[in-house]
Amino acid sequence: MNPKRRIVILGATGSIGTNALRVIRAHSDRLELVGIASRSRVENLAAIAHEFKVRDIAVFDPGTETPGSLASRFPAGSRIHTGMDGLIELATLSNADMVLIAVVGTTALMPCIHAIRCGKSIALASKEILVMAGEFILPLIRKHENLLLPTDSEHNAIFQCIRGEPARNVQKILLTASGGPYLHTPLESLASITPEEAIRHPKWNMGPKISLDSATMANKGLEVIEARWLFDLRPDQIEVVIHPQSIVHSMVQWVDGSILAQMSPPNMSFAIQNCLLYPDRVTGIDRPLDFSAGINLEFLPPDPHRFPCLNLAIEALKAGGTSPAVYNAANEVAVSAFFDYKIAFDRIPAVIAHTLASADRVAPQSIEDIIQSDTDARRISQQFIHT
């Protein structure tokens, strides 16, 4: 038996993927990278394949690359997969123990389902997957008895706090949010924010979509919905608290009123290492908090007028059925339209609100129903943006 945990990363060239590679590099006595996938960035993927001697590679969108030109960039003997089938191939590799899913948006939904069915442990960073299909994924996880490790910093914090406690002890969870770059910007200035400005996050270094979602707090909305599934909570058991320092990553309040928090610097390596090496704890790769220098922590409630995307997410969660999938799809379309200079920053919530109001609300019977409402919601959002 291989004593090392064998890891596949879907989204190896992104911000989570890059941090996961740092963790694997530092703990090569315990972890082995056996597969990597990314959307395009072939150059970066090839560098990773050479460094970690990875044989199984998937390029979701190879663009103009031919199989021959792709093969020439990777080590001889590499198995190179493409498209959705390629991602699924990687998610189900027979020599992998754990799949880290860190792909932007919902692309990794089907690969995630296949990985679960193959009994892989799942480290889940792509929050859109549970937002869209939590109702079907969680029963699947229970059936196949997979280890499901939340990799997003907030959910990882809750996971660390809640471990071993019976559900009846939990009063609620407090999801912290940095508030993003526009916490104190005058509301009338929000219309003129450019894409270049909006992706500069004050605390976290992340990809453009999640950075923008943090600025609108749609990201926190997605996290509220994801938390509902991960920890089997009612919507009224999830509270959002703004915490600009991003040091308390989230908290659990027990029924007796006591609150437990998880703290570490605003750096993803802590949560990623917790997942990849779970349940072991060994020396971390980044410096922990230093209280000798003094640390100020601040907490405040989110302003619903400043962050309408957050309340729209909570409404979608309460409405249930396909509403969270509709919310997620509308947000993805609105984010793309903003990056393409088609809508102003402060119109993103309007796209989501219109789509939620216009889309059919159904109780989905299958993943296919969810995918259908995702497609319908995208069409409604597009039409709204064009008119």
Residues that bind Mg ion (CB under 5 A): 152-154
Provide, rounded to whole angstroms, the least separation between the CB of residue 130 and Mg ion: 13
Task: Look up residue 237 and give its two tokens.
Answer: 């058991």
Q: How far is the CB of 52 from Mg ion (least distance, A)?
A: 26
Hey, how many other C-beta atoms are within 10 angstroms of the C-beta on 179? Answer: 25
Report the C-alpha gap between 41 and 14 in whole angstroms: 10
Q: What is the three-state SS of 39-108?
A: CCCHHHHHHHHHHHCCCEEEECCCCCCCHHHHHHHCCCCCEEEEHHHHHHHHHCCCCCCEEEECCCCCCC
Distance CA 141, CA 100 (A): 15
Are the C-beta atoms of residues 170 and 255 closer than 8 Å to each other?
yes
Q: How far is CA 166 from CA 118, 127, 193, 255, 280, in A?
A: 29, 24, 45, 11, 22
The count of other CB atoms within 10 Å of the CB of residue 106 is 21
Q: For 131, phi and psi rounded to 5 degrees?
A: -60, -45
Edge-to-edge strands, sheet with 148-150:
79-82, 56-59, 31-38, 5-10, 98-101, 121-124, 148-150
CB of 222 to Mg ion, least distance (A): 9
Q: Would you say 135 or 154 has its CB closer to Mg ion?
A: 154
Least distance in Å: CB of 126 to Mg ion?
12
Closest to Mg ion by CB, 90 or 149: 149
Task: Please say which residue, 152 or 346, places its beta carbon nearer to Mg ion.
Answer: 152
Phi, psi of 228 (to 5 degrees): -55, -40
Least distance in angstroms from the C-beta of 120 to Mg ion = 23
Tell me the closest approach of the beta carbon of residue 118 to Mg ion, in angstroms.
27
CB of 87 to Mg ion, least distance (A): 23
Supply the minimum distance, in Å, between the C-beta of residue 223 and Mg ion: 6
Rounded-to-integer distance, Cα 195 and Cα 82, Å? 30
Q: What's the DSSP call for residue 192?
A: G
Residue 32 or 152 with smaller CB distance to Mg ion: 152
- Measured from each CB, the residue nearest to Mg ion is 152
| Closer residue to Mg ion in complex, CB, 120/243 | 243
Of residues 154 and 332, the one with the C-beta less far from Mg ion? 154
For Mg ion, which is the closer residue by CB, 246 or 322? 246
Identify which of residues 153 and 322 has a Cβ nearer to Mg ion in the complex: 153
Rounded to the nearest whole angstrom, what is the least distance from the CB of residue 63 to Mg ion in the complex?
Answer: 30
Can you tell me whether residue 223 is helix, strand or coil? Answer: helix
Contact 132, 325 (CB under 8 A): yes
Minimum distance from residue 155 beta carbon to Mg ion (Å) = 7
Count of beta carbons in the 10 Å neighbourhood of residue 235 = 16
Q: Which is nearer to Mg ion, 34 or 309 (CB)?
A: 309
Q: Which residues contact 342 (CB under 8 A, 6 or more apart)?
A: 385
Q: Which residue's CB is nearer to Mg ion, number 37 or number 124? A: 124
What is the C-alpha separation between 187 and 69, in angstroms, rounded? 50
